[in-house]
Amino acid sequence: MTRFVVTLIAFLALLIPASAQQKGKGHKFTGKVTEVGKDAVTVNHGDIPGFMGPMTMPYKVDKVDILSKVKAGDQIEATVYENDYTLYEVKVVPAAAKAPEKAKK
Ligand SMILES: [Cu+2]
């Protein structure tokens, strides 16, 4: 029984880092689009604690069709992973929706 548990733990220890290493740790990403390219979007993003400070830089996107929906000046939300400078699940955030979010805090 103990041997089974040890084997199981060793097996899980192998599995978890393997999946985590691919994309790295995920972070919530918010920023303002400054430029939309063919396969990337340039964003003036806010601080991403533990990953990057605020800056303007280009990012690839998980689904290219979002590039036809965003435009310069849009506020967006997405998820970014440390080993992969790609924005996942990009959402345009209406500027008006920002206010109630702040009021909650
Ligand atoms: Cu950056």
Per residue, what are the HEC states of 23-51? Answer: HCCEEEEEEEEEEECCCEEEEEECCECCC
SS3 (DSSP) at 65: helix
Ligand 1 centre from 86 Cα, in Å?
11
> C-alpha 18: how far from its chain's center?
19
Query: Is a pLDDT exceeding 80 seen at residue 85?
Result: yes
Which ranges of the chain does DSSP label H, i.e. alpha helix? 2-23, 98-104
Query: Is a pLDDT exceeding 90 seen at residue 12?
Result: no
* Residue 85 to residue 61: CA distance in whole angstroms: 9
**Residue among 100, 84, 87 at smallest CA distance from 28:** 87
Ligand 1 centre from 97 Cα, in Å?
24
Ligand 1 centre from 6 Cα, in Å?
41
What per-residue confidence (pLDDT) applies to 102? 58
Q: What is the largest CA-CA distance in the chain?
A: 60
The residue type found at 50 is G
What's the whole-model pTM score?
A: 0.70
What per-residue confidence (pLDDT) applies to 92? 96
Per-residue pLDDT reduced to its tens digit, 26-48 = 999 999 999 999 999 999 999 99
Ligand 1 centre from 68 Cα, in Å?
22
What per-residue confidence (pLDDT) applies to 15? 62
What per-residue confidence (pLDDT) applies to 22? 77
Please, which pLDDT band fits residue 17 given cuts at 50, 70 and 90? low
Ligand 1 centre from 85 Cα, in Å?
8
